Chains A and B, each alone.
Chain A
């Protein structure tokens, strides 16, 4: 129940931040003809589920969560649930936009290219979430931001450079597509376990210049 309440806080946040509407609608609209779907999907994941950490950091939301009677594992679970919710929301929006435009413009609805591109986006997105979340939950946004950006860029480049290869893989028999999704889910579960371990041990210091916390630990 607590996890659900925390998850709902994130959902309420999502719908009360105006610029988030832009970040959701723009990638969804790009799905109308199937171009840049995977890239738009990945950018959306960077701006929305991960962007929520940025918003929380600006508002010093740690102070709010720290005062609420919730366990740390609940907070981590709620964050992962929110990321999955964001993915489902975008997939549903992209499928809907593509279908509507397809019907309106008399084009093939949910063409194979579009679905393949969306699948690539989904895989890249899951990998990004799985790598970025434990980092942010361990170090906090300010310290993890550069590393997460690097992960995002790498994901973006790999997607751009090897997107075609991935696309070919997704055109292999059904079993391989399922295998890839299964692998991604396993990666996500491992990431969740690691994030949980990190976050339970995390201490919320006031913002101090990098290195000061490590110096304090060394003295101890």
Chain B
């Protein structure tokens, strides 16, 4: 079952035109939107959240219309924005109290679990914690209402490796336990290769390629990529990262030439 379906989506934006012929995210899948700056990743998220309206085309989440059924959709949608709009002067506890009443499936147990996992203290003031803690707190809020689809924008930007691992583990856990689907936007082919079940490469507002990660080798077969010589345990990951990088570079060049 698809949690997200986009068909013939077109949207004129101030600096570029978003044009997506078709795109799907399957239930329980970790999908990655891979693209550089101004490739349209943020615009897609805003269209999904009904903050922008499409000029043409259809967006369906959980089989519902993104505009008409936006309230029901947002009950089942988690969002971790790059700038999540939290009140800087407020304690984490207060922020939780602000958000919690809006969700019918809010689970305090899940909230506490992730608070512990991410070693967050509810008495801290949001504006005074570091960026990694901010991101982890927003992720905790997003996971606490048990979303079916989590939208997550550049989650690992300027973040220590240990925390990146912790977040990735949490997402994988939710994916396996509750069938959470994730749509992550990133500009890093490395992160995409590490986490993705499916890859969607964007450039200048156009979706250039969508493929399941299992077909990565097939798609990058004709491309030049350098196999890095590292320990055998990491060999497979390193290969995948190099292939993704090559694929991304290749399609970005195609996008540039268009």
Contact = CB atoms under 8 A, between A and B. Distances in A.
**A and B interact:** yes
Interface in A1-58: 2, 5, 8-9, 12-13, 16-18, 55-56, 58
Interface in B94-113: 94, 97-99, 101-103
A60 B13 contact: no
Contacts of B101: 5
Contacts of B55: 220
B26 interface: no
B14 A204 contact: no
A70 B70 CA distance: 8
A12 B88 CA distance: 13
A175 B77 CA distance: 53
Given A69-B75, A70-B71, A59 B88 contact: yes
Interface in B64-81: 70-75, 77-79, 81
Interface in B1-32: 12-15
A205 B84 contact: no
Nearest to A205: B14
Interface in A61-95: 61-71
B75 A60 contact: no
A182 interface: no
Interface stretch (B46-54, B180-188, B190-198, B230-238): B46-54
A62 B101 CA distance: 18
The residue in B70, B77, B85, B90 that gathers the most chain A C-beta atoms within 10 A of its C-beta is B85
The residue in A8, A9, A61, A65 that gathers the most chain B C-beta atoms within 10 A of its C-beta is A9
A212 B74 CA distance: 29
Nearest to A19: B89
Contacts of B157: none
A69 B85 contact: no
Given A5-B102, A67-B77, A69-B75, A220 B85 contact: no
Contacts of B13: 205, 216
B86 interface: yes
Interface in A97-112: none
Contacts of A180: none
Contacts of A205: 13-14, 52
The residue in B55, B73, B83 that gathers the most chain A C-beta atoms within 10 A of its C-beta is B83
A55 B102 CA distance: 22
B85 A61 contact: yes
A217 B15 CA distance: 11
Contacts of B14: 205, 208, 212-213, 215-216
B12 A220 contact: yes
A17 B42 CA distance: 30
Contact of A69 (B46, B52, B98, B102): B102
B74 A59 contact: no
A203 B53 contact: yes
A212 B94 contact: no
A183 B84 CA distance: 40
Contact of A219 (B12, B84, B90): B12
B85 to A, nearest CB: 3
A212 B12 CA distance: 11
B163 interface: no
Nearest to B97: A12
Contacts of A8: 98
9 contacts: A13-B90, A59-B87, A63-B84, A69-B75, A203-B51, A204-B52, A212-B14, A213-B14, A217-B12
7 A-B pairs with least C-beta separation? A64-B85, A212-B14, A67-B79, A69-B74, A63-B85, A204-B51, A61-B85
Given A16-B87, A60-B85, A66-B79, 18 more contacts: A2-B102, A5-B102, A9-B98, A59-B88, A62-B85, A64-B84, A64-B85, A67-B49, A67-B74, A69-B102, A70-B74, A71-B71, A204-B46, A205-B14, A208-B14, A212-B14, A212-B15, A216-B12
